[in-house]
Amino acid sequence: MQKSEEVMKNKYYNRLRWLLLPALLAASGFLAAGMTSLDDDELSDVSGQALFMAAKETNGAHNFYRMGFDARLELNVNIAELKLGETSTGVDIWAKNMALGCTANASNVCVDSASATQLRPFTLMRPFIQIAVKSDTNRATREVVGFRLGAENASGPMSIGNFESFSGYLTATANIELQEQGKGRNPDDVAVTCGPTTGPCPNSGTAWNDGVNTFGLNEPLRSLGLNNDQACLLSICAQFRDLTASYDAVARNNLPVVLSGRRQTQAFIQNARLSEVVDSIVDSLDISRSNSALSAGLINVLLPILKGSVGDKIKSQLATGLGTTVGNLNTYQIPYNVQNLHSAEVNSPLFGLSFQKEAGVQYPGYAIGMQQGWSMYLPNAFTVTVSQPTTQFVSNIMTGAAAAGNIIGLPTTVGGGGRVYDNCWGTAVFC
């Protein structure tokens, strides 16, 4: 019975299509004389591919109606300033000098236009508009509460000169390596306390004059920049200012970066486990030179006993620099200013812009509901891979740069999260 009904429906829609077609052709002046009609049996044999697509999905309390094109849309677009959802209290999405697409070399890698051989587009495969409807089965309360501009898949380079404000959901990945020092790539040992150009340095005790290291080494490359303190075993003590050290590298790979909310300016790097980072560095710590009464060799003999105390002192100072507590170092989420996000490689079926009348509209496939107003959904947006000497990271923490969202120095080359993509090449008149 069900199959019979489907056949009848197909015949009805085919008949309707062929009834409307002559009228459309006549209106356009293309109706040819002598056209012959087709009966239902002949019409049932006709099939074709539609330019437009439609689908319905349900997620939670909403039904979603999708209307799209069976087409591939390639874009190279420059936008001087994109502002969506601006009110007297702020802007939902605010991006300056935004570009979709880039200039690329023969290998399709984004490069400066001076060495480019082609334009690489931002591609939307089967773009669509998706309407969110609440209370869909109740005619009295049914209403449209949002819409989304998306695609079956969006891929290609996207860059932003400055992301002033972001609403929605963004995920990325961070690979961070704190390089070894006093060995390998960085053979020079480093002072423990701050250098003369940044002194006077704080002291943890009142009996000492100044915490500036006695070797004349400056941060961020030759000094950890820590406060002066001392490590003691019974009555044997050595001040940090009189010591240089070497240690092994520590890597944190595939760290999740997450931003969620409305009118945000910072994403957060999760699972860095900073307390464990300090433990790893201290475990590999070796005193290279000593200007104290104790020789470097003797201090190294005492280090297995002193490492716990040294690690605790370092953790305390780092926690102070981050504005947190030692107990929270392992769970501390490192802030990351979205203004540092200058380029992303998009490749996702979920990328899109949406507008919601109310918060909590969760489009099919989305991890969370979107905020009220305009939102962008940008999953797996970029990978930040940074490898720097440990002293650079510690310096960023001690100076407050990390707590302000600037712990990571981004690459300065085109792409890689560092600079905006070049998107002006050849005879492109939109530049």
Helix %, strand %, coil % of the chain (to 5): 20, 40, 35
| Cα distance between residue 135 and residue 428, in whole Å | 47
Q: What does the block give as tokens for 205?
A: 């005790």
Q: E strands within 265-379?
A: 266-269, 286-290, 334-337, 343-348, 352-356, 373-378
Average pLDDT over residues 404-428: 65
Q: Residue 112, class by beta-carbon neighbours within 10 Å (0-12 exposed, 13-18 middle, 19+ buried)? A: middle
Answer whether 392's CB lies under 8 Å from 190's CB.
Answer: no
pLDDT at residue 367 greater than cutoff 50 = yes
Can you give the pLDDT at residue 35? 62
Predicted pLDDT at 50: 61
| pLDDT over 70 (residue 175) | yes
Radius of gyration of the chain (CA): 31
- Give the model's confidence band at 209: pLDDT under 50 very low, under 70 low, under 90 confident, else very high: low
Confidence grade of residue 415 (pLDDT, cut at 50, 70, 90): very low
Confidence of residue 283 (pLDDT cuts 50, 70, 90): very high
Query: What would the mean pLDDT of 43-52 be, rounded to a whole number?
Result: 64
* Number of C-beta neighbours around residue 334 at 10 A: 24
Most confident among 63-67, 314-318, 393-397 (mean pLDDT) = 63-67
Query: What is the predicted pLDDT for the residue at 3?
Result: 47
Give me the residues paired with residue 186 across strands. Answer: 183
Closest CA to 373 of 145, 152, 217, 188: 145
| Neighbouring residues of 117: CB distance < 8 A, sequence distance ≥ 6 | 104, 105, 106
More confident residue, 54 or 347: 347
Instruction: Give the CB-side neighbour count of residue 154, counting CA atoms within 13 A.
Output: 23
96 forms bridges with which residues in the sheet? 81, 162
**pLDDT of residue 410 exceeding 70:** no
Check: CB of residue 181 under 8 Å from CB of residue 225: no
Burial 392-419 (b: 16+ CB within 10 A, else e): bbbbbbbbebbbebbbbebbeebbbbbb
Residue 216 has pLDDT above 90, yes or no: yes
Q: How confident is the model at residue 18 (pLDDT cuts 50, 70, 90)?
A: very low
SS3 category, 287? strand
Q: What is the pLDDT of residue 206?
A: 55
**What CA–CA distances, in Å, run from 109 to 76, 102, 247, 256, 411?**
15, 9, 37, 25, 16
pTM metric for this prediction: 0.77
Q: Identify the pLDDT of residue 411.
A: 44
Distance CA 380, CA 172 (A): 5
Query: What's the pLDDT at 16?
Result: 43
pLDDT tens figures, 219-249? 889 998 888 888 777 777 888 899 999 999 9
Q: Which amino acid is at 16?
A: L
Q: How many residues does the chain have?
A: 431
Coil, strand or helix at 10:
helix
**Which of the four pLDDT bands, split at 50, 70 and 90, describes residue 421?**
confident
Confidence of residue 423 (pLDDT cuts 50, 70, 90): confident
DSSP, residue by residue, 168-208: EEEEEEEEEEEE-BSBTTB-S-EEEE--TTTPSPPBSSSS-
Residue 88's pLDDT band (boundaries 50, 70, 90)?
A: very high
